[in-house]
Amino acid sequence: MLTRFVRELPDHLTGNGAAWLVLSDLPERLGLRDTDMVPRLIAAAGLTVRSHTAGPAATARRGRAPDPLAPYRSQERIHLWTLGRGAGSAGQPVAPGWTGPT
């Protein structure tokens, strides 16, 4: 689903249009997605990263059964990617210095 979304995104953006991509890094923390997959998808689609920010996830699981993923969730971060079309956008071709989840 993520691959298709990013791959088809340029077809839905106007020249100065932008799209927001909000992703959890939980799949990366669990080894289900490579840490460089998102930047590679963005570059392959010819998109530009206008901005990229990340913050801690607000995970509220109080009162539930023990969560075997709790150690991973406690470090989970949510990433907001603002994407635009290729070289004509105001950003960089790919997120410079992206190192995956921290």
Residue boundaries of the structural domains of the chain: 2-58+72-85
Both tokens assigned to 27: 């799949």
Segment 10-16 shows an average pLDDT of: 92
Rounded CA separation 56/58 (Å): 6
Q: What is the pLDDT of residue 90?
A: 46
How many Å apart are CA 37 and CA 31, to the nearest integer?
12
pLDDT at 100: 52
Query: According to the model, what pLDDT value does residue 7 have?
Result: 96
Tens of pLDDT, residues 62-81: 656 788 988 999 899 999 99
pLDDT higher than 80, residue 102: no
pTM: 0.77
- Tokens coding 88: 């004509």
Maximal C-alpha separation, the chain: 50
